[in-house]
Amino acid sequence: MDAPPTASDEVAGLCSELIRFDTSNFGPEGSKGEREATEYVAAKLAEVGIESELFESEHRRTSLVAHWEPDGCDKNAPPLLIHGHTDVVPAIASEWQVDPFAGEVRDGYVWGRGAVDMKDFDAILLAVVRDRQRTGRAPRRPVRLVITADEEAGGGLGAGWLARQHPELIADCREAIGEVGGFSLTVNDKRLYLIQTAEKGLAWLNLIASGTAGHGSMRNDDNAITELAAAVSRVGNYRWPQRLRPSVRQFIDALENVLGTQIGTDDVEQTLARLGSIARMVGATMSNTANPTMLTGGYKLNVIPGEATAGIDGRFIPGFEQEFYDTITELIGEKVRYEVVTGDIAVETTFDGDLVNAMTASLAAADPGSVAVPFMMSAGTDAKAWSTLGVRCFGFAPLRLPPELDFVALFHGVDERVPIESLQFGCQVLDDFLDRA
Residue 302 CA from chain centroid, whole number: 44
Q: 3-class SS at 265?
A: helix
pLDDT category of residue 31 using cuts at 50, 70 and 90: confident
Are 347 and 372 in contact by the 8 Å Cβ rule? The answer is no
d(CA 331, CA 310): 14
pLDDT value, residue 57: 96
pLDDT value, residue 271: 63
Is-above-0.95 flag for pTM?
A: no
d(CA 178, CA 218): 57
Cβ-Cβ contacts under 8 Å for 103 (sequence gap 6 or more): 15, 16, 17, 18, 19, 20, 110, 111, 112
pLDDT above 90 for 82? yes
pLDDT value, residue 282: 76
DSSP letter (8 states) at residue 152: G
DSSP letter (8 states) at residue 191: E
CATH class of 201-242+288-345: alpha beta
CA distances from 292 to 296, 304, 308, 412 (A): 12, 22, 14, 19
pLDDT above 90 for 236? yes
What value does the mean pLDDT of the chain take? 93
pLDDT category of residue 84 using cuts at 50, 70 and 90: very high
Half-sphere exposure of 222 (CA within 13 A, CB side): 7
pLDDT category of residue 270 using cuts at 50, 70 and 90: low
pLDDT above 70 for 47? yes
pLDDT value, residue 196: 95
pLDDT value, residue 1: 62
pLDDT above 80 for 116? yes
pLDDT above 70 for 268? no
* Number of Cβ atoms within 10 Å of the Cβ of 311: 16
pLDDT above 80 for 2? no
d(CA 230, CA 226): 6
pLDDT value, residue 168: 96
Mean pLDDT on 241-258: 86
CATH class of 7-196+347-436: alpha beta
pLDDT value, residue 327: 98
Domain boundaries, given as residue ranges, for the chain: 7-196+347-436, 201-242+288-345
pLDDT value, residue 277: 59
